[in-house]
Structure formats: structure tokens, C-alpha cells
């Protein structure tokens, strides 16, 4: 057979094939790729944690376990809040009561002692001046004791007052005036012993400095310290109404939770909730009873302690000022006069009568405030001493007005039957009454403070235990759903 030639069909193409061994054509360049803009990031649509929590809370509230958890949390929060507020309010009142007992009342008494000591020193100085060269050591000792006591009380008051307070400025001024007063008294004493009449002028000048500058400043200090004492009482005695209200709310919530538990389970008691209720009841009763006892003690310490002390201090100061004016009546020998209406009086004798009226009113008030025989007896004795003092003073004034100066002097500072004896008896009896009332004050105020002892700590501890009981009680119910 002959060979058959197979003919390959030619490939048909729209383009002409390149000749053999010719270089490949370069592919056409593509246009640069366009950068597509990045779409903006959508805003964060995530909800706040509070909103999400509220949603979860609403979702949980649709189930009984969720509702129980909410109830447990609220009960625990209420009990803890009750304990915390109780501890806070009781602590504040206990601190104020402690200030009454250990700070403000002692400082008030110190201020009164400053006033009394200055007046006592002034009285002793005038008595010593009247004695002249025959001045007894008793008067000198009394004068020095009054000056020393005033200086010591001023130092104590300065240490317990705020540096920039008005009281501190008053104390500084008294510390400045005290040496000036002492210098005038020493000059008066020196000239008097030498027989120079100018000694009387120095003593009158010293008395003016005391009466017009020092005693008013001491009285101002006394007034400020008494105001501070009243403020401490005002902070210590009010009922802690916020704590009491929270306690009532906590108990109501606990009662509602137990009633709800009973309706749903027919179980009368839930041990945890009962324990929480018991602790809340204990704290509330402790708070109300304890504070009521404390309040009663503090009010008693004010009514039968502070008020009596203030009246007795005022009466004692009035007696000292009356005695000083009585002495100065003889020192001045009518040189100082005072016109009242159409009448002219000896200035110092007029002030004597005015102070004796103040003394009489103070003793009458002190008798009414005394709540036992021990407090009333020295005041009654002082009233008798004051009555006799008036009689002897009237006799001395009659002698002086008749020109019998020496006889009048003997009736005032003599050896026996003098007005000085009556003054000393009044002062001694008032000092005894002051000592008794100070003891009464400390007893009543200390009892009030003791009634609050441990209450703040106990309330905090019991509140924590009560909150734990509420959580455990609710947890016991939750365990039934697992």
C-alpha cells in the first residue's frame, strides 16, 4: 500500500502568527489600578454598661431566682446602711458628749475662775490697802493666790483655744493687762505704807483698770466658753433620726421578704432572715434606748449641773465685786460720786448695793435649782450670811457718814463682827455649793456618755452579721432551684 499523506488542517486565527524564531510581542500595559476609598467605620452602637445591666436586671426579674437575688442584695444593703449610719451618728454625738465632759465645761469653769480670781485679787488688794501698815499676811496671801490662779487659768485657756479665735485674742489681752495691774497695786501699797495720799489714787486707778478693762474681757471669755458649751450640748442631745428611719425601713423590708417567702413556700421561718431581723431589732432598740438614756443624763447635767454652776459662779463674782466696792468706799472717802436722777451717791457704795441685789437674786435662783439637801444647804447658809452682811454694812456706812472713819473701818476690816467675816462666809459657802454641783455635773454627764459606749462598734458588727444572715437566708431559697 502506498503511504497516505495526512494533511494537518491549517489553524484559522484572526491574528497572524509570528514567524518562527521571532521575538514575542510585549503585552500591552494595563492601566494603573484605582484605589477604592475605605468605607467609613460605622459608629459604635454598643450600649452603656448601665443600660446593659438594667436589661439583665429586668431579664432576671422575670424569674424567681433572679427576683430572690435582687431581694437579697437590697436587704443586705439596707441592713448595712442602717448599721453604718447608726455608727456615724452615734460617734458624732458621743464625741460631742465627751467634749462637754472633758473640754467645754471645764474650760467654761476655768473662764469663770479667771473672772473670780481677778475679782478676788482686787478685793484683797483693797482690803490690804485699808489695813495700811497693819496689813495682815492673810490679805497678802489671798491677793497673791488670786493673781497666781488667774495666770495659771489663762495659760490653760490659751493652750485649749484656737490660735486665731476671739478667745485667744482676749486671753492675750488679759495676759498683757495683768502685769500692769500688779504694778499699780504695788505702787499703791508702797505709797500707802509711807503715808502718802497718792497711794489711794494708784489703787483707784488699779481698780478702774480691773473693773473697766480686765473684768469685762474676762466676762467676754466666760460668755464665749459658755456658748461653746451650749453648742456641744446641742450636738450631743438630738435624736439620730436618720439612723432610726433607716432601721424602721430595714425592718419593714425584712418583714415583707419573710411574708413573701411564707406565701410562696408555706414555710413560717427562714433562719437567715430571722437572724437578720433579730440583729436589726437589737441595733434599733439599743440605739433608741441608749441614746434616750444618754440624752436624759446630758439634759440632767445641764439643768442641775451647768445651770447651777453658772448661777453660783455669777453669785460668787457678785459677792467679790460687792466686797471690793465696800472697801473702796472707805478708800475714796467720798471722792467718787455718782448722780442718779436728782440724787447723788457715793459711787462705790452705789455699786455695792447693785452687786448685793445681784447676789440676792442669784442665791434665790440657786436655791431653786438645788435638787438635794447637800446642794441647798450651803446656799441657804450664804443667804443668811448675806443678810447679816447688809446689816453690818449699814452700820459701817452710818459711822462713816457721821465722821467716825476709824469706827467704820473697824466694822469693815476689824478683828471681830466685821462685814469681812460675812463676806468670807458667803464666799466659803458658795465654794462648797460649787464643788457639790461640779460633782453632780460630772456624774450626770459621765452617765450620759457611758450610755453610748460601744454602741457605734456594736451597731457596725451587728449590721454585718445581719446582712450576712439576709444573704444566707435568700441563698437557702436559691438552692432549691438548682
**Does residue 13 surpass a pLDDT of 60?**
no
- For 99-115, the pLDDT digits (tens) are 898 888 888 888 888 98
pLDDT of residue 41: 55
pLDDT of residue 68: 81
Is the Cβ–Cβ distance between 466 and 81 less than 8 Å? no
428 or 161: which leads in pLDDT: 428
pLDDT of residue 163: 82
pLDDT of residue 270: 80
- Of the candidates 388, 410, 399, 354, the one whose C-alpha atom is nearest the C-alpha of residue 345 is 354
- For 166-193, the pLDDT digits (tens) are 888 999 999 999 999 999 988 888 887 7
Q: How far apart are CA 4 and CA 10, in angstroms?
A: 18
**Residue 178 has which C-alpha cell?**
495683768
- For 41-91, the pLDDT digits (tens) are 555 556 677 777 677 767 766 677 778 888 888 999 999 999 999 999 999
- For 302-316, the pLDDT digits (tens) are 988 889 998 999 898
478 or 315: which leads in pLDDT: 315
Region 393-400 average pLDDT: 89
Region 401-429 average pLDDT: 87
pLDDT of residue 9: 45
Provide the β-strand partners of residue 338: 345
Residue partners of 188: CB distance under 8 A and separation at least 6 = 125, 129, 199, 200, 201, 202, 203, 206
Across the chain, mean pLDDT equals 83
Amino acid at each position: 500500500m502506498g503511504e497516505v499523506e495526512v494533511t494537518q488542517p491549517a489553524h484559522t486565527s484572526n491574528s497572524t502568527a509570528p514567524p518562527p524564531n521571532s521575538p514575542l510581542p510585549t503585552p500591552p500595559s494595563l492601566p494603573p489600578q484605582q484605589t477604592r476609598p475605605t468605607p467609613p467605620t460605622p459608629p459604635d452602637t454598643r450600649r452603656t454598661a448601665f443600660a446593659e445591666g438594667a436589661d439583665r436586671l429586668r431579664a432576671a426579674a422575670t424569674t424567681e431566682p433572679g427576683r430572690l437575688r435582687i431581694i437579697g442584695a437590697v436587704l443586705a444593703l439596707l441592713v448595712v446602711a442602717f448599721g453604718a449610719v447608726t455608727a456615724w451618728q452615734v460617734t458624732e454625738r458621743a464625741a460631742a458628749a465627751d467634749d462637754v465632759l472633758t473640754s467645754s465645761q471645764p474650760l467654761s469653769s476655768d473662764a469663770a475662775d479667771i473672772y473670780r480670781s481677778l475679782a478676788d485679787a482686787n478685793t484683797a488688794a483693797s482690803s490690804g490697802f485699808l489695813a495700811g501698815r497693819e496689813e495682815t499676811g492673810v490679805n497678802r496671801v489671798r491677793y497673791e493666790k488670786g493673781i497666781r490662779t488667774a495666770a495659771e487659768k489663762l495659760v490653760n485657756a490659751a493652750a485649749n483655744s484656737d490660735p486665731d479665735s476671739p478667745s485667744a485674742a482676749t486671753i492675750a489681752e488679759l495676759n498683757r493687762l495683768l502685769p500692769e495691774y500688779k504694778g499699780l497695786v504695788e505702787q499703791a501699797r508702797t505709797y500707802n505704807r509711807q503715808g502718802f495720799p497718792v497711794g489711794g489714787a494708784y489703787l483707784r486707778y488699779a481698780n478702774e483698770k480691773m473693773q473697766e478693762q480686765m473684768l469685762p474681757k474676762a466676762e467676754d471669755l466666760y460668755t464665749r466658753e459658755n456658748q461653746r458649751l451650749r453648742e456641744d450640748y446641742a450636738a450631743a442631745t438630738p435624736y439620730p433620726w436618720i439612723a432610726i428611719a433607716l432601721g424602721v425601713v430595714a425592718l419593714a423590708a425584712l418583714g415583707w421578704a419573710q411574708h413573701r417567702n411564707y406565701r410562696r413556700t408555706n414555710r413560717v421561718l427562714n433562719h437567715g432572715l430571722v437572724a437578720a431581723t433579730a440583729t436589726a431589732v437589737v441595733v434599733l432598740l439599743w440605739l433608741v434606748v441608749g441614746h434616750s438614756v444618754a440624752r436624759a443624763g446630758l439634759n440632767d447635767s445641764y439643768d442641775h449641773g451647768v445651770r447651777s454652776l453658772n448661777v453660783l459662779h455669777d453669785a460668787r463674782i457678785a459677792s467679790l465685786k460687792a466686797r471690793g466696792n465696800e472697801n473702796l468706799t472707805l478708800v475714796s472717802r467720798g471722792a467718787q460720786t455718782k448722780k442718779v436722777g436728782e440724787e447723788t451717791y457715793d459711787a462705790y457704795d452705789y455699786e455695792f448695793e447693785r452687786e448685793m441685789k445681784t447676789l440676792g437674786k442669784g442665791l434665790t435662783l440657786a436655791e431653786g435649782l438645788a435638787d438635794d439637801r447637800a446642794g441647798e444647804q450651803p446656799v441657804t447658809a450664804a443667804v443668811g450670811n448675806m443678810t447679816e452682811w447688809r446689816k453690818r454694812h449699814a452700820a459701817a456706812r452710818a459711822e462713816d457718814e457721821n465722821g467716825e472713819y476709824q469706827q467704820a473701818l473697824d466694822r469693815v476690816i476689824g478683828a471681830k463682827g466685821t462685814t469681812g467675816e460675812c463676806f468670807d462666809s458667803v464666799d466659803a459657802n458658795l465654794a462648797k455649793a460649787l464643788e457639790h454641783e461640779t460633782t453632780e455635773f460630772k456624774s450626770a454627764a459621765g452617765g450620759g456618755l457611758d450610755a453610748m459606749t460601744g454602741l457605734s462598734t456594736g451597731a457596725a458588727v451587728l449590721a454585718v452579721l445581719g446582712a450576712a444572715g439576709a444573704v444566707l437566708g435568700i441563698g437557702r431559697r436559691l438552692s432549691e432551684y438548682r
